[in-house]
Structure 1
Amino acid sequence: MSTVGKRPASTPRELTRMSDRVSFLYLERCLLHREDNAITAEDADGVTHIPSATIGTLLLGPGTRVTHQAMSVLGDSGAGVVWVGEQGVRFYSGGRSLTRSAALVEAQARLWANQRTRLDVARAMYRMRFPGEDPSRFSRHELLGREGRRVKASYREQAALAGLTWNGRRYVPGDFDGGDTVNQAVTAAAQCMYGIAQTTVAALGCAPGLGFIHSGHELAFVLDIADLYKTEVAIPVAFEIAAQSPDDIGSRTRRAVRDRVNEINLLQRCVNDIKQLLAPDAHDDPADTDTDQVTLQSDYGMDVESGRNYAEDFDW
């Protein structure tokens, strides 16, 4: 049996598809280690074995420690790892892409590099979030204004349904406890959604920094994708949990988000939505390959075979 260091990396075909994984797993006050191709979480109650290839995003809360070997198997499995807590989301590690193909990231770059197509994708995202309204003629400023009004209306609507008083979104980075119960629940729900979006973007091989609505940040595209499900998942769950009790609001919100994500099969939707946004006309799945197909770029948009020397093709 080969040692851990000598084992070859798993191919994408050998790994669990993103849409079939557990959306996220939250751990705190424990030591994470590796045993074979599973991670172990050890705390005062004993040791729990967790198959690493079934994890979408691992959220590490306060008091967690993780070994090098645990991070190694999580990275090889394509699992995202996010350190979270009262300070908010801190994404310190990303899993590998679960595809060998660059088709999606190339499509994303082409769409992002052109101002017209970048706006087209932003409009498509708005249409996904708020069906029934045609944004085809909206400018960017109009998209931002309409989105803002829709989100504010969602907050008010969910507050009325839950019987809560809503005084507006209040969150100061680094001061989780400074917000009221509802704002803390909204923040905790957002942490989960960012983790899910980050890992899905990484698994599909997309560029997290090339956003179509957000910009100027290394996770701009992640924020775009997470926002697709804000008014459907994050906000309703946060208000439901806050209405029940202010106790242990963070962990209760995370568990409720996990249950809702599984109920509506959000991981599969997230994968499909990204593909629809970036490659709507693709006949084959642009991310469903584990074959190393490396080509070289030539003139006039043509790609040529790699692995050979082209010096003899030219008269020097």
Structure 2
Amino acid sequence: MDDLSPTDLKTILHSKRANLFYLEYCRVMQKDGRVLYLTEAKNENQYFNVPIANTTVLLLGNGTSITQAAMRMLAQAGVLVGFCGGGATPLYMGCEIEWFTPQSEYRPTEYLQGWMTFWFDDNKRLAAAKQFQQARIDYLQRVWQKDRDLKQEGFNVTDSDIANALKVFDERTSSANKPSDLLLTEAQLTKALYKYAAKNTQLDNFTRQHQSAGSNNIGKANDFLNHGNYLAYGLAACTLWVLGIPHGFAVMHGKTRRGALVFDIADLIKDALVLPWSFICAKENATEQEFRQQVLQAFTDHKSLDFMFEQVKRIALQDLTIDQIALIENGQASNAK
């Protein structure tokens, strides 16, 4: 471990890293060149290793502390660290997770510069937002067609209710003249998906509540939606940080909303994975940990982080030729190694 340099810790590209950790009631520290977390058991203290070179995001929940030495190693490995409330959900739903991002390295400039070539033009920014919305639906269709577990739970894109909702969404997205039109269309689709998921899981009278809604199944579905959405926000924040694009340059959620681009990117995967599994796990009366494990596994199975990277890079570099994009990506991979 003494021979490892900060560059060695970044060998695995962020889009290929497997781990996103949520820790609570423990102390995170550096010991013998590794990052560990310490938990207090009844008879003894237990240490567990955090594989930082293969980790994208570390969420610190209730009852956690972290040492300066551990933060230094996490920064060297390029891991994003966020403090949050219990169950990976912030204590106040109106408050964003504040991300601690490593500042000890240079990040690529191509993607931010590409983003800026269209962002100041209202029409081009709207066109980028429409591309994200179309990618979001393409991902949902691909995931729901492929995932056997979701099919067994009744989530099928060929159902008439879903097919009609997606058709209306596509028509209204194409005809939208401003970001507020897209947000309204998005809200209408999400409402239809909630209704469809509630019907499949027998959660009658479901209503979306962003505050904790109790311990019954409907309350659990709302809590799981909050929890899963913030996990998706973590992946989105990681994607933007690695590519060097600030969170404020949103294409749909508004120029003045803090961290708005994080929400734009997270929306790419929320409907496809977070929404159905929130309802399924609520129906099965799963615990927070069981839900979290299920969603993180779904993110891995369907390469959610890879998909986010692909879409953001595609939008940022859309005015370049295929050969130019290949040169940029090959250069980024070489630098990481």
Q: Distance in 1 between matches of 2:313 and 2:125?
A: 15
Are the equivalent residues in 2 in contact too, given 1:125–1:228 (CA < 8 A)? yes
Pairing 1:201–2:245 present: no
Match of 2:82 in 1: 82
Letter in 2 for 1:67: T
Match of 2:267 in 1: 227
Q: Which runs of 4+ in 1 moved over 6 A?
A: none
Q: Distance in 1 between matches of 2:318 and 2:19?
A: 25
Are the equivalent residues in 2 in contact too, given 1:122–1:213 (CA < 8 A)? yes
Match of 2:17 in 1: 21
Change (3 A) 1:289 1:104: same
SS of the aligned residue for 2:244 comes to: coil
Match of 1:310 in 2: none
Q: Distance in 1 between matches of 2:220 and 2:231?
A: 17
Are the equivalent residues in 2 in contact too, given 1:84–1:191 (CA < 8 A)? no
CA offset at residue 284 of structure 1?
2.7
SS of the aligned residue for 1:71 comes to: helix
SS of the aligned residue for 2:36 comes to: strand
Which residue of the other structure, out of 36, 39, 54, is the alignment partner of 1:40? 36
- Percent identity between matched residues is 23
For residues 282-312 of structure 1, the C-alpha deviation after alignment (integer angstroms, 9 at most, x for no partner) is 43354543899xxxxxxxxxxxxxxxxxxxx
Which residue of the other structure, out of 244, 266, 289, is the alignment partner of 2:304? 266
Question: Could you tell which deviates more after superposition, 122-131 or 95-104?
Answer: 95-104
Q: Distance in 1 between matches of 2:128 and 2:187?
A: 18
Match of 2:122 in 1: 115
Match of 1:307 in 2: none
SS of the aligned residue for 1:284 comes to: helix
CA offset at residue 256 of structure 1?
1.2
Pairwise mapping of residues 182-193 of structure 1 onto structure 2 (< 5 A)? 182-193=221-232
Q: State the structure with more CA Rg.
A: 1
For residues 111-162 of structure 1, the C-alpha deviation after alignment (integer angstroms, 9 at most, x for no partner) is 2111111111011111112346353432123322221111001111111111
Change (3 A) 1:164 1:33: same
CA offset at residue 109 of structure 1?
2.0
Pairwise mapping of residues 157-196 of structure 1 onto structure 2 (< 5 A)? 157-172=196-211, 180-196=219-235
Pairwise mapping of residues 301-316 of structure 1 onto structure 2 (< 5 A)? none
Match of 2:145 in 1: none
CA offset at residue 230 of structure 1?
1.4
Change (3 A) 1:97 1:167: farther
Aligned length: 284
Are the equivalent residues in 1 in contact too, given 2:2–2:33 (CA < 8 A)? no
Are the equivalent residues in 1 in contact too, given 2:75–2:104 (CA < 8 A)? no
Pairing 1:91–2:98 present: yes
The structure carrying a bigger helix percent of its residues is 2
Letter in 2 for 1:230: K
Q: Distance in 1 between matches of 2:28 and 2:132?
A: 38
Change (3 A) 1:152 1:61: same
TM-score (norm 2): 0.76
